[in-house]
Amino acid sequence: MSSFTLPLNDGRSIPWLGFGTGTALYNKDAENAVKTALTTGVIHLDGAQMYGNEESLGAAIKASGKPRDALWVTTKLAKLSPGQSVRESLQGSLKKLQLDYVDLFLIHIPIQHEDLKGVWKQFEEVHKEGLAKSIGVSNFRVKDFEQILDGATVVPSVNQIEYHPYVFKASQPVVELMKKHNIRPTSYGGLTPIVRNKGGPLDPVLVSVKDSVTKRASQPVNEGQVLQLWLRKKGVPAITTSSKAERIQEYIAVETLPELTDEEEKALDDAGSQVHHRAFLQWIDE
């Protein structure tokens, strides 16, 4: 059972490991995959309006029979239709999810909204109403935060971003701003260095760290788990996905593996900083 949590600036705690219904499940029926995740022990489910599968996510939650307060469910706002309010959009999601509230509601893509500040004000309203227990953002740059933090009555609890050693250096400015406001980074695409960018300077360091952690853990550890240990060391929840129960069990096992040493963390930081590879949303670097 996944049980490791990290505190947010609103007094709540987010489960470190999240199961995402985007990427491989984008615009696909996610019910069976989510059922597998829930059965295997994941309690944090990360959805989005843009993924086009909130109904199947809701069906899996209902079929699990798990108490609502035993789960953490996230969804994200897509581009609003003309005249549509944030509340109306969220209520549409809640209907599909068959839920009375979500644990976390995020602005998904900042450049989809002309009046970002106005959208955030509406987020504060659905938060006050209890439709979203925590509110936050995703894919936000420094300039996006500057728009909404000016006059905000609620500071975003998280910013979900692509985060792994190959974007570590590029992410520093926004991560530093988030530290000032106690905003928790959460990660997607964390396994990018091994699934999308093999052959880079990180490869030998991942092998070396994997061997060291394997010795300390007295059990086999793989490179994907090392990347997730890097996230855990930095206090960054990991959103990932798989249709295989054994792979999800590997993710859950990361919660109990020995922590990376400071030297191992720095070696991964340094190797990742030698090149820049962003797998998603290239406009973030513009």
Helices (H) and strands (E) in the chain, counts: 11, 10
User: From the centroid of its chain, how far is CA 204?
Assistant: 27
Tell me how far CA of residue 276 lies from CA of 142, 170, 192, 285, in angstroms.
19, 8, 12, 10
Q: What burial letters (b/e) apply to 252-276, b meaning 16+ CB within 10 Å? A: bebbebeebeeebbebbeebbbeee
Q: Of 137, 17, 120, whose CA–CA distance to 72 is shortest?
A: 17
Say how many Å lie between the first and final Cα of the chain, rounded: 40
Q: Is 108 annotated as a binding residue?
A: yes
For residue 100, what are its two tokens? 């009375």
Q: Is 51 a catalytic residue?
A: yes
Candidates 51, 163, 166, 251; catalytic one: 51
Which positions are catalytic? Answer: 51
Annotated binding site: 108
Annotated binding site for substrate: 108
